[in-house]
Amino acid sequence: MATLAGCARDVDVTLPTWSTWMALLVAACTTHAPPAPSTPPASSAIPPHEPGATAIALPAPGATPIAVPGVIGPASIDYIGYEPRGNRIWVPVGNTGSVDVFDIATARFDRVDGFKSVERDTRGRKRIIGPSAVSIGEGIAYVGNRATSEVCAVDTKSLKLGQCLALAQATDGVEYVASTKEVWVTTPRDHSLTVLDASDPRLLKPKIVVKLEGESEGYGVDEIRGRFFTNLEDTDRTVVVNLKTHRVESIWKPGCGEAGPRGLTVDAVRDFVFVACTDHVQILDAGHGGALLGKLDTGAGVDNIDYLAEKALLYVAAGRAARLTIARVDDQGHFAVVATAATSDGARSVVADAQGNAYVADPGNARLLVFPLVPPKN
């Protein structure tokens, strides 16, 4: 197993310029985060985040922490997203009612304000919720807001908040489907998926509700074969829905156990579906009824995962284990770990950019942890 700094010989990537990484370091040092303590070894545990605390020890070597401006941890951050055309990371922040957009080239955040947030009691604890999910469409970013059960359109060029559509059900994950010009929303409380018409990208309209036999969690799309995938967290199932007919085609048993499946992503070319369990990832063969092909142990606290098909790399952030795992997937569906790194307690959402660099949301400290796949060259 290699560290991030040691996988250069295994992975072919094109990195941002050295000046970009210098800018990242400057940004990290000039935000509200405190100075980094002495660097721990890669195997050092990251201390758990104490409620009300504003910082913990920085991650092990390989990560650049970038504080989200104007946000004090712990923050309400769930799904984050990568925008290929703008080369940016979109970070919805519930407790500030904003979406903070990180420009990778300049290492700067821009903020989209105007989203509503509310305080609710969740499992006996007060929590402020608001925008929590994002998906990038054609010049529009679609943002789900848990506070209002809305999906809102944001112009990716001007970063202006546009029209919002209120749903009858509380929103969770959001996914734009280009081939059908639809936005699919996981609506777990109603045991359903809600499909929106995005033929006019700026003006979403209700289309259909797909009823399920459990609480939808995670999502992925195979536009080659016209299929949408989601998990049923409470019944340990993975569901296949036809994009055109909006009907359930198949129901699989991923075998995650009592805790159920969480995140999901797809390799459409090789017809693989990756299902995140709470401490590992299963790879299922979609062409053979969801048959199990392989398993990747990642540590506890897995939720949202990401896959970079161009490099056959899977990205998993385990929040309780405070660990990022990057693994290559071969044509037989076998995993080979190429990189691991320490993150922070509770960091369980990760996305990759087109070059293979990883971005992990650290809600406990209200920041984005940036991991270059290989170190910058002098």
Q: Residue 108 and residue 66: Cα distance in Å, rounded?
A: 9
CATH number assigned to the domain comprising residue 180: 2.130.10.10
Arithmetic mean of pLDDT, 257-281: 97
Assess contact for 129 and 120: CB atoms under 8 A.
yes
| pLDDT tens per residue across span 126-162 | 888 999 999 999 999 999 999 999 999 999 999 999 9
Would 182 be classed as within a structural domain?
Answer: yes
DSSP-derived secondary structure letter, 305: E
Would 305 be classed as within a structural domain?
Answer: no
* Residue 143 structural domain: 79-211
> What are 82's strand-pairing partners?
89
Q: Residue 329 and residue 285: Cα distance in Å, rounded?
A: 13
pLDDT for res 127:
83
Q: Residue 301 and residue 317: Cα distance in Å, rounded?
A: 8
DSSP-derived secondary structure letter, 248: E
Q: Residue 207 and residue 347: Cα distance in Å, rounded?
A: 34
3-state secondary structure of 45: coil
| pLDDT tens per residue across span 78-98 | 999 999 999 999 999 999 999
Place 375 in a pLDDT band, splitting at 50, 70 and 90: very low
Q: What percent of the chain has pLDDT over 90?
A: 78
Place 63 in a pLDDT band, splitting at 50, 70 and 90: confident
Q: Residue 48 and residue 334: Cα distance in Å, rounded?
A: 33
pLDDT for res 305:
98
Residue with tokens 């080979």: 336
Arithmetic mean of pLDDT, 253-258: 95
Assess contact for 288 and 332: CB atoms under 8 A.
no
Assess contact for 278 and 263: CB atoms under 8 A.
no
Residue 62 pLDDT greater than 70, yes or no: no
Assess contact for 120 and 127: CB atoms under 8 A.
yes
Assess contact for 347 and 316: CB atoms under 8 A.
no
- In terms of pLDDT, which residue wins out, 37 or 224? 224
CA distances to 9, 10, 181, 338 from 216, in Å = 39, 36, 21, 31
Residue 37 pLDDT greater than 50, yes or no: no
DSSP-derived secondary structure letter, 225: T
Residue with tokens 């809305």: 150
Q: Is 124 exposed, middle or buried (0-12, 13-18, 19+ CB in 10 A)?
A: exposed
- Per-residue tokens: 281: 């990832």
Would 103 be classed as within a structural domain?
Answer: yes
What is the number of structural domains in the chain?
1
pLDDT for res 374:
62
> What are 183's strand-pairing partners?
176, 196
| pLDDT tens per residue across span 184-214 | 999 999 999 999 999 999 999 999 999 999 9
CA distances to 76, 99, 201 from 371, in Å = 22, 21, 33
pLDDT for res 248:
98
CA distances to 59, 139, 213 from 278, in Å = 22, 34, 21
pLDDT for res 11:
39
Mean pLDDT over the full length of the chain:
86
Q: Residue 127 and residue 131: Cα distance in Å, rounded?
A: 13
Q: Residue 316 and residue 321: Cα distance in Å, rounded?
A: 11
